Amino acid sequence: MTETATRRTTPAPPATGGRRRWISALGEFVRTDVLATIVGLVAAALAWQLIALAAGASWLPTFDTIARRIGDLLDDGKFRSELVHSVLSMLIGFALAVVVGVAVGMAMGMSTLARYAFSIYVDVLLFIPPVVVTPVFFAIFGLSNSAVLAVIFIFAAPIIAATTKAALMNIDRDIVDAASSFGASRWQLARLVVFRAALPMIFTGLHLGIGRAVKGMIIGQLIIAVVGIGAYEARFEQAFDSAGLWSIAVLVVVVAVVFSWGVQFADRVVNAWAYVGRRQ
């Protein structure tokens, strides 16, 4: 289901030229994954409408009610700014997680000492539910945006670090050997060969990380509930405003899906070489 576009390992029919490669990789992605998701969402909306009409429960408003509510919310300037604010926080937190996560992961992948020093902590962070750390950040940063950023960071960074480390340890040693036989210095090796070879798997980590970053944003904002759309959630909840709550849920789903697509887009642009050709 998620394996629609396979990465190539066997010969395929003749290629298009270099620049057009990522265009065709993107095109295939849009045609398969993106379209399927959109169709799925539309079908879900229809199904929802039917179920809601049948059930008639106060906590399950009909889809058109929700759709209208979303429209109203998006019209509201204040809500719009809070939404934008939340999304930006998430991106900043994610960017931080990427920078730190990839750096630590690369250190662990390339240096045994770094691996000994850090991997136990990365593993622990992967084991525990990141949400436990939320009270800690609340205590350090107070009721503020920085606290939410910290939560987003701690949700996303460990998986990115772990995947990056695995990516570096799993690259094809033969290629590194071949490159060094031509006299590549350690720096040239790292820059031209090692990093490039690890990129596809690093991007897998980024994909996992963006999902976690969105979770971190929501959970962080729910718990530290004065900023962003978390605040709106709290207000709607107190007012038993189901339509409002569902509206936010739908918007969050849309944000999550769009960002997931964003990472996958970037993956196909950067690593187009791994997606060239028809899928099996």
Partner 1 sequence: MSSFAWQPGETKARELSKTMNPTTQAGVSASIGTGPHIDVNRVSKSFRPSGANGRGDDARSVVALQDTSFEVGRGEFVSVVGPSGCGKTTLLRMIAGLSSVDAGHIFVDSKRISGPGPDRAVVFQHASLLPWASVVDNIAFGLRLRKIPKSERTTKACELAALVGLSGFESHLPGQLSGGMQQRVGLARALAVDPQILLLDEPFGALDEITRRLMQDELLRIWSGTGLTSVLITHSVDEAILLSDRILVMSGRPGRVIEEVPVTMRRPRERGMERTPEFVDLREHVWELLSGQPAAQAND
Partner 2 sequence: MSYSVESRHAGSGVGRVGHALLRVALPAVVLVIVCLIWNWYVGTKHSFYLATAGAIFRAFISELGDAAVWRALWTSDISLLVGFAIAVAIGVPLGLVIGRIKRVDRLLAPYLQIALVTPMAVLMPIVLVALGLSRTAQIVVVVLFALPFVVVPTRGGVVTIPGDWLDMASSYGARELQVWRLVLLPGATHAIVNGLRLGFAHALTGEITVELSLIAIGIGQLIIRYQSHYQAAALFAFVLLISIQSIVAMGLLSLIQRKVRRA
Binding site for partner 2 (CB under 8 A): 1-2, 36-37, 39-41, 44, 57, 59, 109-113, 116-118, 120-121, 124, 127-136, 138-140, 142, 169, 173, 176-177, 180-181, 186, 189-190, 194, 211, 214-215, 217-219, 222-223, 225, 233-234, 236-237, 240, 242, 245-246, 248-249, 252-253, 256-257, 260
Structure-block tokens of residue 177: 């050997």
Quote the least distance from Cβ 100 to partner 2, whole Å: 15
Tokens 């944000």 sit on residue: 255
Question: Cα–Cα–Cα angle for 135, 137, 141, nearest 5°?
Answer: 125
Distance from chain centroid for Cα 122: 19
User: Rule CB under 8 A: is residue 231 a binding residue for partner 1?
Assistant: no
**8 A C-beta contact, residue 263 and residue 229:** no
Quote the least distance from Cβ 210 to partner 1, whole Å: 23
Structure-block tokens of residue 247: 């509206």
* Residue whose CB is less far from partner 1, 112 or 238: 112
Q: How many CA atoms lie within 13 A of 276 on its CB side?
A: 19
For residue 129, the partner it binds in partner 1, partner 2, none, with Cβ less than 5 to 8 A by kind, is: partner 2
Structure-block tokens of residue 49: 């409408």
From first CA to last CA, the distance across the chain in angstroms is 14
Quote the least distance from Cβ 270 to partner 2, whole Å: 21
* Residue whose CB is less far from partner 2, 21 or 207: 207
Secondary structure of 58-106 in the HEC alphabet? CCCCCHHHHHHHHHHHHHCHHHHHHHHHHHHHHHHHHHHHHHHHHHHHH
**8 A C-beta contact, residue 141 and residue 223:** no
| Interface positions, 89-148, toward partner 1 (CB under 8 A) | none
Distance from chain centroid for Cα 82: 21
Quote the least distance from Cβ 203 to partner 1, whole Å: 13
d(C-alpha 101, C-alpha 78), whole Å: 34
| Interface positions, 246-275, toward partner 1 (CB under 8 A) | 271, 273-274
For residue 17, the partner it binds in partner 1, partner 2, none, with Cβ less than 5 to 8 A by kind, is: partner 1
For residue 277, the partner it binds in partner 2, partner 1, none, with Cβ less than 5 to 8 A by kind, is: partner 1
Instruction: Work out which of 2, 17, 132, 280 binds partner 1, going by CB under 8 A.
Output: 17
User: Rule CB under 8 A: is residue 280 a binding residue for partner 1?
Assistant: no
By C-alpha distance, which of 250, 228, 273, 271 is closest to 90? 228
| Interface positions, 166-205, toward partner 1 (CB under 8 A) | 172, 174-175, 177-184, 188, 192-193, 196-197
Q: What is the binding site for partner 1 (CB under 8 A)?
A: 8-15, 17-18, 21, 172, 174-175, 177-184, 188, 192-193, 196-197, 271, 273-274, 276-277
